[in-house]
Each structure stands twice: as structure tokens, then as C-alpha cells.
């Protein structure tokens, strides 16, 4: 049961001045496969929630087509679409018990009483809610409300399950637990799911694929590994994890590699965005853990340690390099073996071309 | 509305095809608002500007060529302004004493200031005649003034101030509660003395509320019919009464409509000023949970003075109710004070039918008006459709339009086919339903503001259409507000007179109109007995509704709480 978005665009008007427009979503194209879990990730205001709300039917696209399971759904209102949403605020009906909340959708679909009771009990069992069946929502903790919201959505066996920042109101520990639980349930039922979040760790851990958005436009769609190790552009590279950007220039382009000028030296790189041409200004993206540090061995750059923070399993450094505008961030993953550097130390920095990816400047 | 906005609203409206019940509901409401609110008003304007089928200003020339009506206009505006100013001052003193000065007996004073809201608006006038009139208890029995004359300016002003200061009190209580006491603490900490702080911090922050109160009271006073009908007298003409007499006494519809139109203009302007200008200037300084303040902002001396003023006003209010109750049992007010039940027996003889009529009319119109109010609140807050703004504006219009004008509008609009409704139950019901929807709408809008919209989206997402969402999710959550609105609407329907007096007939009469005619024929005792019964019915109904609310929903209506 796939979801397909073709050139979906949403324009909002200013409340006070209708002539001012705001393009919340701009030409989004994506196909979400059956049983897949895709995350829409981006900073607030990037259009991820609006895109989700267009899929659920709460917003109508200004342009473009939305298909669920092959059916064109633009004109179908939210209550007739076979999608279920888990809301950021949970949106538990405050005047109904846990059981009544979960059964709400089923009673609307004119199921028999027995069938409703059976389905509701089954899902409560799976979600660990059985003992809470007759509680009022006001007597539930945040995590329990979250479970009820999820159970209420899943019990309808929707074609697509939509999550709107479902964990943002929970504390850090519970968030981690629920993340795992959501993924478990989603896999168990094999429901096609779309998950909206601004938390990149959440996105990396729950999704098959991630769609990263900024200012209404898709920046990249890819697996967690792809978006981290092969970011499409500067925005993705800096939004997902931390990265160092080393400026460079393309000297020549071969079949499966490019030759760059790094500080006057010619170097071959294999991982790069396809649109590069000769003489393009580029960035070599190196993740902090991809850098090699040494006190004595001569390497590409030399810099002064500005700060050194010991985190137990890792050591984090900020290093000032004369030739570069930004400070370099480096992580040493086994500091006891690799040695400690102090603030003020002069050290050498280098990297293997395998740990890099080249993007357009 | 520009083109693009229109297009987007149009698109949203088109989407409603998929939700036929909602579409039907919206269409029906829009049509009825047009028919039962706008059409009568338009009719008043048309008739006012027409003579023998041609548009002209003749009606106005005739009406205001007559010095008496010019006086009536001036009198109405002057009394309106003074009522607004004095009523606001009294309301402010009450609110300030209760919220800030923490005078003893806060609960008692709060009840005193809310009682007049649940009584018929002319009780003040009736009691003032009983206290200060020719046979008045104070004027004649205590002070031995023969031939005391309370009719006219003084009496009317007193009656209106007592009737309307509670409205100001409720507005200003809210305003003062929303001014964080920590601001005054801060000012004191910076070295201000109490008087400076009051003048430079408290008062400026309350100014928008005060302005709003003045405008609202001005509108209420202009619209008032009961008090001037009883107290103004022929020496001191008042516009709303003269418009009534012109129509029911002289059958001069054109001239009556012209007077009504002139009454409409200042009311509507004050209302618009209040709604679109003053109410947007309100300061909100309390955020999050209320701060408990050990506020010593009012000195002991000031507190004592305020306390004495409040006692005096409370005494007057109590005196009014005491004299009504006593008057209902006294054989002949001012002459023979021995107790009797003859007034009540008389009332049940003469007025039992009107009592039943009143209950039927209020009993049918109140719930309809309440549900309609909630529905309109839901639609204008939560839905997008063509005509949403129109719905919001028209449905709130009855707040601004004096009842006299609406009454005249109904007579003009519904006395010919296709709507020949004069003298029927229907016309009274329609009038009551559409006059009191704003009460429900206001409550509904406020509650909806507190209900997370995603709760309704969740219902929709699970397959509920708009009508199911409204019935099973939104309405249950709005129940407390619904009942509060219901009580208000019920009280208003039971005590209404200004519009209803045009619409009653031999078949369908109202208690308020009966009371009025008893006063006019000098049967003060009977009028008092009638009023006592009316207020009792209101109090009993409020008690019943509040008990249901408490038992079933564990909440209280906001009317008499705190």
C-alpha cells in the first residue's frame, strides 16, 4: 500500500495580508513503498508537517497529486481516507475511557460489538494497555497516552500510518523506549508509515528511508547510511550529524573518480555528488570521526587545539587551522590508545579519502 | 475579500460536497441568519426611508420636525452617556474593592452585583416607584413628602445605573484579575506611593476595560425599554418608548421605523467601536499560573472608604428586592401594610396563562438557541467555508441592536406573505432564538479556544464526518459552556420585554408584558407579585441546571460562581 506524491505544493496566505504568500511545500516528489517507514526530517518550518497533513487530508495541496494505494486522494476528505494519524499532542478524547478511545474508529465503521471488543482487546494486549482499559485519559502518564494514541491509530488497520512528531512531549528516556516500540509495532503489522520529526537521531533510528526538507524543498531522500555518508549538499551534511568542510577544486573528472586539488596536492576521490564538473569549487565533507590526528607525523594540515573535552568513550577536539575559516571538529574514538592532546598543543590533521564525500560548494 | 481569498474559500466550500450534512447545516444557518436577523433590520431601514412607495426622508423630517422627538433623542443619548459613566464608576469601585482591596464579605458583594443580571430589567424601576414615588416608602412614609415625583430624568438614571452596573462590574472584574498584582508590587518596590501607583499603573492598565464597559453600558441603556417605559413619564420622552408608542399607539409604521433607525445608529457605532477598537487594546499581563500576591496596594483607610461605598450600594440593591417582595404581600403599598396573598391570587387568576406561555416560549427557544449557538461557534472557529465571516458578524449582531428595533423589524418583516406570522407562537420563538444565540456563541468560542484542534482532527482522521465529530467529541466537551449559555439565554428569555412587547398577542402573552401593564394601571402589588414569581422561576431553573451540571459533569455554570 504505497503512498505517492507528485509535484505537491502548498501555498499559505498571510492571515492579515492576503497578498503575502508563503510557499510551505514546494514541488515534493516521493514514493513510499508498501511496508516502508519513511521519516520527513527538517528544521521547524521546513514543510514536513504540512506535507504530512496533506497526506492525511487536513490540508489540500495548492498543486500536485497525492496517491494512496494507487488511488488519487486529493479530493477525499480526511475522514474518508484510510490513513491514521498519531498526533503530537496525542489528541486523546478527554471524555472517553482508554477502551472507548481505541474503539472510536471501529464503532464509526459499524463493526459488530464483538468484533470491536476483540480487536480492541487484542491491540491493548500488544501495547500493554490491558490494565488501563477503563481509565480516564486524565489518569494516564504521557507515555501511556502515547501508547493509547498509537493503539487507536493501528486498530483500524490503516493503509498508511502517520506520525506527527509523536515523541516530542516525552522525556529523553521514555522517548528512546517509545522509539523502539513504535518501530517494533510498525514492523509487526507491516504498515506503511510516515514519521515527521526534527530530531535527526530519532529519524536515523526508526526509518528505512529519510526525506530531508528545508524551506519546503526536498534536500535529499535516502537511507540513514546514505544521508550520513553521502549527503547531497551542504545543508544535509551539516543538518545530519556534524561535519568538517574542506574547500577544494575539481581538477579533472574520470569515470568513477574525481581528481581534486587539496593544498596544491592532487588527490583522487571516489565518493562525490554526480553533478560535478571540471573547475567546480567543492567541499570535501569529513565527519569528525573520520579525521586522523597525530603529534609527530606530518599530515595535510597543522592546527592548534582550541578545546579538548573528554566524554569517556570518546575525546572531542576543536582545532584551529590557519588555512581554514571554520574550526575543525575531531573525535577520537579510543583516546586511551590514540593518546590525549591538550589545549594549546600543535597537532597534525589528515584523512583517508575513503572517509570523505565531495559536494558542490 | 480579494480574489485569491475568495477562490480558496470557494475551494474549501466545494470540498464540503463530500460532507453533505455539514453543507446543509451551513446553508440552513446562513439562510436563517439572513431571514431572521438581517431581513427585519433591512426592513426597518427600508420602511424608514420610504413614503408611499418612494424613497424619501419624509419620515425623518416628520419625526424630528416634532420638538418632542428631538427631545427624546437628546434625552436618550444624555441618559445613555450618564448611565454609562456612573454605572462604570460604580462597577469599577465594586470590582476594585473585591479584586484588589480584598474588602470583607467579598462573596456577599459578588452576589449583590450579579443578582440584577438575573432579574427582569425593570425591577429597578418598579422598586424605585415603590420607594420614592408618590406613595413611596421612603419619600412618603419616612420623609412625609406629599406629591413626590420620581418620574423623569432622576428616577430613570437611578434605575438604569442599578440595572446595568453589574455588567460593568463583571467586565472590570475580569480586567482587574488579568492585571498581575506583581506589577503593582514592582511599582511599589521602585518607590511609588499607593496613589501614584493606582494612577500610573493600575488605572492605565484598566483603561481599555473601562472604555469597553462605558461603550457596552451606553448600548444597553439606549436599548433599555422596561425602565423608561415605567419611569420616564411623558415629561421626559425616551426614544425606545416613543418608537413603541408611535407603532402600537398611532400605527404609524414609517415614523416608528425612522425613530428606530435613529436609535440604531448610536448603538451600532458604539458596539463597533467596542468590538473592533477597544477590545483589541486590552493588556494581558497575567501569564501562566496566577501569582499569589501579598498585595498591600490598598491602604487600610482606602479599604474602609471602599467598604462603606459598597455597603451603601448593596443596601440600595437589597432595598429594591426587599420592597418588591414586601410589596407583593402588602395589602396596599404605602397605605396599608398588612400582609395578604390577594396579589398572588389575582396574578394566578389573571396571569396564569401568560406564566405558562412564558415558560413554553423560554423552554422551547432556550435549548434551540443554545445548540444553535454552539453549532455556530464550532463552525466559525473550526471550519472554512464561504460566508464564515458573514455568519460570525450577523449572529453577533443582536448584541448591538436594541430590542425595540428588532421588535419593529419583526412586525414589519413578518406581517405579510410569505411570512405571515404576526400573533403566532412562531414569531416569538424565532425572535427569542435569534436574539440570544450570541450568548451561546461567545461561550462556545471561548471553550473551543481551549480545546486542542487536533482532538477533532483525530476524530476526523478515524473516520468521523463533521456531524459525528461535533456530536460525539466537540459537543460533550462544550457541555459546561453550553449550560452556562443556556442559563443566560433562559434568564434573558424570561425577562425579555423590549422586542417581545411588539410580538405578543391575545393568544400568546408574556409575564414581563403583563407586569408592565399592571404597573401602567397602577396595580403595584400585582406587578410585584408577578415579579417575585418570575424571579423565583428563574432561580429554581438555575438551581436545577447547576445541580445537573454538578452531578453529571462535576462543573458549575460560571454565572454565579466565584
Give the chain A residue nearest B4 (alpha carbons): A18
Helix, strand, coil shares of chain A as percentages rounded to 5? 30, 35, 35
**Nearest CA of chain B to the CA of A162: how many Å?**
10
Residue A16 near chain B (CB below 8 Å)? no
Residue linked to cell 421626559: B236
Contact assessment for residue A57 and residue A160, using Cβ atoms and an 8 Å cutoff: no
What burial class does residue B382 get, using C-beta atoms within 10 Å of its C-beta: 0-12 exposed, 13-18 middle, 19+ buried?
Answer: middle
Per-residue confidence (pLDDT) for residue B558, from 0 to 100: 47
Task: Indicate if the pLDDT at residue A67 is higher than 80.
Answer: yes
Contact assessment for residue B307 and residue B93, using Cβ atoms and an 8 Å cutoff: no
Residue B286 sits at φ, ψ, to 5 deg, of: -100, 120
Say which of B2, B19, B455 has its CB closest to residue A91: B455
DSSP codes, B55-87? E-SHHHHHHHHSHHHHHHHHHHHHHHHHHHHHH
> Considering only CB atoms, which residues of chain B are within 8 Å of chain A?
2, 4-5, 8, 11-12, 15, 18-19, 452, 454-455, 457-465, 468-469, 473, 476-477
In the structure grid, which three cell numbers stand for residue B557, read together? 455554570
Name which of B197, B308, B215, B202 is nearest B268 in CA terms.
B215
In the structure grid, which three cell numbers stand for residue A242, read together? 556534524
**Nearest CA of chain B to the CA of A275: how many Å?**
39
Q: Do A93 and B5 touch (CB under 8 A)?
A: no
Name which of B96, B71, B47 is nearest B152 in CA terms.
B71
Say which of B2, B4, B463 has its CB closest to residue A105: B463
**Nearest CA of chain B to the CA of A274: how many Å?**
41
Contact assessment for residue A189 and residue A119, using Cβ atoms and an 8 Å cutoff: no
Say which of B2, B11, B464 has its CB closest to residue A79: B464
B chain contacts of residue A87, beta-carbon cutoff 8 Å: 454, 457-458
* Each residue's pLDDT expressed in tens, for chain B with a length of 562 residues: 455 556 666 666 666 666 778 888 889 999 999 999 999 999 898 888 887 777 888 778 877 778 888 888 899 999 999 999 999 999 999 999 988 888 888 888 888 888 887 788 788 888 888 888 777 777 766 777 766 677 888 889 999 999 899 989 988 888 888 777 777 777 777 777 777 878 887 888 888 888 888 988 998 898 888 889 888 877 888 888 888 888 888 778 888 888 888 888 888 888 888 777 776 666 655 544 445 555 567 778 888 899 999 999 999 999 989 988 988 888 777 677 778 888 888 888 888 888 899 999 999 998 898 888 888 988 888 887 888 888 888 888 887 888 889 999 998 888 877 778 777 888 999 999 998 888 888 888 888 888 888 888 899 899 888 888 888 888 888 887 788 778 888 888 888 888 888 888 888 888 888 888 888 888 888 889 989 999 898 888 888 887 877 777 655 444 443 3
**Nearest CA of chain A to the CA of B464: how many Å?**
6
Q: Do A78 and B455 touch (CB under 8 A)?
A: no
Say which of B5, B457, B473 has its CB closest to residue A58: B457
Cis peptide upstream of residue B418 (ω within 30 degrees of 0)? yes
Per-residue confidence (pLDDT) for residue B381, from 0 to 100: 85
Say which of A56, A60, A105 has its CB closest to residue B11: A60
Number of H helices, E strands in chain A: 9, 20
Contact assessment for residue B353 and residue B516, using Cβ atoms and an 8 Å cutoff: no
- The partner residues of A308 in beta bridges, in order of sequence, read A317
Q: Do B454 and A77 touch (CB under 8 A)?
A: no
Q: Do A13 and B464 touch (CB under 8 A)?
A: no
Interface of A with B in 25-64 (CB under 8 A): 56-58, 60
Residue A289 sits at φ, ψ, to 5 deg, of: -80, -10
Q: Do B458 and A76 touch (CB under 8 A)?
A: no
Four-way CATH pick for A3-229: 3.40.50.1860, 3.40.190.10, 3.90.79.10, 3.40.50.300: 3.40.50.300
Angle at B375 between CA B370 and CA B378, to 5 degrees: 125
Residue A108 near chain B (CB below 8 Å)? yes
Going by the DSSP 8-state scheme, the letter that residue B504 receives in this structure is: -
Residues 6+ apart with CB under 8 A from A140: A92, A98, A132, A148
Integer angstrom CA distances of residue B422 from A348, B364, B407, B436, B499:
99, 19, 11, 20, 13
Topology agreement, domain A3-229 and domain A242-360 = no
Q: Do A93 and B455 touch (CB under 8 A)?
A: yes
Domain-wise residue ranges, chain B: 28-42+341-562, 83-235+297-340
Give the chain B residue nearest A154 (alpha carbons): B462
Residue A186 near chain B (CB below 8 Å)? no
Residue A22 near chain B (CB below 8 Å)? no
Quick one: CA dihedral B74, B76, B78, B81, positive or negative? Answer: negative
Q: Which residue has the higher pLDDT, A46 or B50?
A: A46
Say which of A19, A75, A89 has its CB closest to residue B452: A89
What dihedral angle (degrees, nearest 10) is formed by the CA atoms of B299, B302, B308, B310?
A: -90
**Nearest CA of chain B to the CA of A253: how many Å?**
50
Give the chain B residue nearest A110 (alpha carbons): B463
Q: Coil, helix or strand for B285?
A: coil
Could you list the beta-strand ranges (E) of B248-335: 330-332
B chain contacts of residue A109, beta-carbon cutoff 8 Å: 463
Helix axes B253-276, B67-99, angle to 10 degrees: 30
DSSP codes, B189-210? HTT--HHHHIIIIIHHHHHHHH
**Nearest CA of chain B to the CA of A202: how many Å?**
23
**Nearest CA of chain A to the CA of B104: how many Å?**
37
B chain contacts of residue A194, beta-carbon cutoff 8 Å: none
pLDDT digits (tens, 9 = 90+) for A258-309: 988 887 788 888 888 888 888 889 999 999 999 988 888 888 888 999 999 9
Q: Do B457 and A79 touch (CB under 8 A)?
A: no
Element (H, E) at B54: strand B54-55
Mutation choice for A interface testing from B5, B18, B462, B471 by most A CBs within 10 A: B462
Say which of B5, B15, B473 has its CB closest to residue A13: B5
Q: Do A87 and B454 touch (CB under 8 A)?
A: yes
Say which of A60, A88, A108 has its CB closest to residue B468: A108
pLDDT digits (tens, 9 = 90+) for A136-173: 888 888 889 989 999 999 998 899 999 999 888 888 88
Cα–Cα dist B255/A73, whole Å = 60
Domain-wise residue ranges, chain A: 3-229, 242-360
* pTM for this entry: 0.73
**Number of residues that make up chain B:** 562
As assigned by CATH, the class of the B83-235+297-340 domain is mainly alpha
In the structure grid, which three cell numbers stand for residue B524, read together? 403595584
Four-way CATH pick for B28-42+341-562: 3.40.50.970, 1.10.357.10, 1.10.3720.10, 3.40.50.620: 1.10.3720.10
In the structure grid, which three cell numbers stand for residue A57, read together? 487530508
Mutation choice for A interface testing from B461, B466, B481, B555 by most A CBs within 10 A: B461
DSSP codes, A296-336? SS--SEEEEEEEEEE-SS-EEEEEEETT-SSPEEEEES-HH
Cα–Cα dist B300/B373, whole Å = 46
Four-way CATH pick for A242-360: 3.40.50.2300, 3.10.180.10, 2.40.50.140, 3.30.1330.10: 2.40.50.140
Cα–Cα dist B330/B290, whole Å = 50
Angle at B68 between CA B62 and CA B70, to 5 degrees: 70
A chain contacts of residue B461, beta-carbon cutoff 8 Å: 56-58, 78-79, 83-85, 153
Residue A67 near chain B (CB below 8 Å)? no
A chain contacts of residue B384, beta-carbon cutoff 8 Å: none
Amino acid at each position: 500500500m504505497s503512498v505517492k506524491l507528485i509535484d505537491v505544493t502548498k501555498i499559505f496566505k498571510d492571515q492579515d495580508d492576503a497578498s503575502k504568500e508563503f510557499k510551505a511545500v514546494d514541488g515534493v516528489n516521493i514514493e513510499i513503498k508498501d511496508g516502508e517507514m519513511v521519516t520527513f526530517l527538517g528544521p521547524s518550518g521546513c514543510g514536513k508537517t504540512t506535507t504530512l497533513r496533506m497526506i492525511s487530508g487536513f490540508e489540500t495541496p495548492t498543486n500536485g497529486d497525492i496517491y494512496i494505494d494507487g488511488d488519487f486522494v486529493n479530493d477525499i476528505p480526511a475522514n474518508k481516507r484510510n490513513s491514521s494519524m498519531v498526533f503530537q499532542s496525542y489528541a486523546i478524547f478527554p471524555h472517553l475511557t482508554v477502551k472507548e478511545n481505541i474503539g472510536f474508529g471501529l464503532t464509526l465503521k459499524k463493526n459488530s460489538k464483538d468484533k470491536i471488543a476483540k480487536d480492541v482487546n487484542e491491540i491493548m494486549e500488544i501495547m500493554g494497555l490491558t490494565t488501563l482499559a477503563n481509565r480516564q485519559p486524565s489518569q494516564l502518564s504521557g507515555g501511556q497516552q502515547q501508547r493509547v494514541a498509537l493503539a487507536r491509530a493501528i486498530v483500524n488497520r490503516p493503509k498508511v500510518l502517520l506520525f506527527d512528531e509523536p515523541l516530542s512531549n516525552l522525556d529523553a528516556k521514555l522517548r528512546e523506549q517509545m522509539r523502539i516500540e513504535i518501530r517494533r509495532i510498525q514492523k509487526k503489522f507491516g504498515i506503511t508509515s510516515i514519521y515527521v520529526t526534527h530530531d535527526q537521531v530519532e529519524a536515523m533510528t526508526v526509518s528505512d528511508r529519510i526525506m530531508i526538507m528545508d524551506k519546503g524543498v526536498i534536500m535529499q531522500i535516502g537511507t540513514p547510511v546514505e544521508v550520513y555518508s553521502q549527503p547531497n549538499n551542504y545543508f544535509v551534511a551539516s543538518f545530519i550529524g556534524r561535519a568538517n568542510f574542506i574547500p577544494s577544486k575539481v581538477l579533472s573528472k574520470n569515470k568513477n573518480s574525481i581528481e581534486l586539488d587539496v593544498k596544491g596536492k592532487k588527490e583522487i576521490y571516489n565518493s562525490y555528488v554526480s553533478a560535478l564538473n571540471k573547475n567546480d569549487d567543492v567541499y570535501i565533507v569529513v565527519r569528525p570521526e573520520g579525521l586522523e590526528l597525530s603529534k609527530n607525523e606530518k599530515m595535510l594540515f597543522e592546527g592548534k587545539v582550541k578545546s579538548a573535552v573528554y566524554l569517556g568513550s570518546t575525546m572531542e577536539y576543536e582545532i584551529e587551522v590557519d588555512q581554514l575559516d571554520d574550526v575543525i571538529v575531531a573525535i577520537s574514538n579510543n583516546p586511551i590508545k590514540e593518546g590525549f592532546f591538550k589545549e594549546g598543543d600543535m597537532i597534525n590533521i589528515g584523512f583517508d579519502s575513503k572517509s570523505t564525500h565531495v559536494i558542490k560548494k | 475579500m480579494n480574489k485569491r481569498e475568495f477562490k480558496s474559500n470557494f475551494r474549501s466550500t466545494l470540498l464540503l460536497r463530500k460532507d453533505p450534512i455539514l453543507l446543509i447545516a451551513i446553508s440552513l444557518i446562513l439562510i436563517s441568519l439572513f431571514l431572521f436577523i438581517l431581513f427585519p433590520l433591512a426592513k426597518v431601514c427600508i420602511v424608514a426611508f420610504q413614503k408611499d412607495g418612494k424613497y424619501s426622508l419624509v419620515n425623518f423630517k416628520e419625526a424630528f420636525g416634532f420638538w418632542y422627538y428631538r427631545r427624546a433623542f437628546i434625552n436618550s443619548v444624555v441618559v445613555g452617556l450618564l448611565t454609562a459613566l456612573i454605572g462604570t464608576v460604580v462597577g469599577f469601585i465594586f470590582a476594585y474593592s473585591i479584586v484588589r482591596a480584598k474588602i470583607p464579605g467579598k462573596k456577599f458583594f459578588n452576589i449583590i452585583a450579579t443578582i440584577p443580571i438575573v432579574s427582569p430589567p425593570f425591577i429597578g424601576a418598579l422598586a424605585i416607584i415603590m420607594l420614592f414615588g408618590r406613595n413611596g416608602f421612603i419619600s412618603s412614609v419616612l420623609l412625609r413628602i406629599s406629591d413626590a415625583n420620581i418620574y423623569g430624568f432622576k428616577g430613570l438614571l437611578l434605575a438604569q445605573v442599578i440595572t446595568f452596573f453589574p455588567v460593568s462590574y463583571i467586565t472590570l472584574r475580569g480586567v482587574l484579575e488579568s492585571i498581575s498584582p506583581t506589577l503593582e508590587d514592582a511599582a511599589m518596590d521602585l518607590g511609588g506611593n499607593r496613589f501614584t501607583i493606582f494612577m500610573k499603573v493600575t488605572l492605565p492598565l484598566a483603561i481599555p476595560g473601562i472604555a469597553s464597559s462605558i461603550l457596552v453600558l451606553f448600548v444597553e441603556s439606549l436599548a433599555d425599554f422596561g425602565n423608561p417605559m415605567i419611569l420616564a413619564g411623558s415629561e421626559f420622552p425616551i426614544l425606545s418608548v416613543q418608537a413603541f408608542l408611535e407603532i402600537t399607539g398611532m400605527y404609524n409604521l414609517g415614523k416608528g421605523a425612522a425613530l428606530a433607525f435613529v436609535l440604531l445608529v448610536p448603538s451600532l457605532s458604539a458596539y463597533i467601536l467596542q468590538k473592533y477598537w477597544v477590545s483589541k487594546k486590552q493588556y494581558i499581563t497575567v501569564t501562566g499560573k496566577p501569582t499569589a500576591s501579598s498585595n498591600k496596594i490598598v491602604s487600610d483607610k482606602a479599604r474602609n472608604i471602599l467598604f462603606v461605598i459598597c455597603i451603601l450600594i448593596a443596601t440600595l440593591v437589597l432595598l429594591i428586592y426587599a420592597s418588591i417582595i414586601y410589596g407583593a404581600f402588602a395589602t396596599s403599598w404605602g397605605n396599608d401594610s398588612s400582609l395578604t396573598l390577594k396579589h398572588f391570587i389575582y396574578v394566578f387568576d389573571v396571569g396564569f396563562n401568560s406564566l405558562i406561555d412564558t415558560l413554553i416560549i423560554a423552554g422551547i427557544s432556550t435549548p434551540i438557541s443554545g445548540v444553535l449557538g454552539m453549532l455556530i461557534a464550532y463552525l466559525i472557529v473550526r471550519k472554512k467555508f464561504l460566508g464564515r465571516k458573514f455568519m460570525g458578524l450577523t449572529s453577533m449582531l443582536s448584541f448591538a441592536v436594541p430590542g425595540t428595533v428588532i421588535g419593529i423589524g419583526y412586525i414589519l418583516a413578518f406581517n405579510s406573505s410569505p411570512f405571515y406570522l404576526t400573533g403566532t407562537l412562531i414569531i416569538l420563538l424565532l425572535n427569542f432564538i435569534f436574539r440570544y444565540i450570541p450568548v451561546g456563541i461567545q461561550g462556545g468560542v471561548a471553550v473551543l479556544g481551549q480545546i486542542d484542534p487536533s482532538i477533532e482532527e483525530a476524530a476526523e482522521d478515524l473516520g468521523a464526518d463533521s456531524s459525528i465529530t461535533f456530536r460525539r467529541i466537540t459537543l460533550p466537551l462544550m457541555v459546561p459552556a453550553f449550560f452556562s449559555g443556556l442559563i443566560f439565554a433562559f434568564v434573558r428569555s424570561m425577562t425579555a420585554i423590549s422586542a417581545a412587547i411588539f410580538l405578543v398577542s391575545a393568544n400568546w402573552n408574556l409575564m414581563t408584558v403583563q407586569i408592565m401593564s399592571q404597573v401602567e394601571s397602577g396595580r403595584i402589588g400585582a406587578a410585584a407579585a408577578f415579579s417575585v414569581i418570575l424571579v423565583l422561576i428563574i432561580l429554581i431553573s438555575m438551581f436545577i441546571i447547576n445541580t445537573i451540571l454538578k452531578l453529571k459533569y462535576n462543573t458549575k455554570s460560571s454565572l454565579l460562581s466565584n
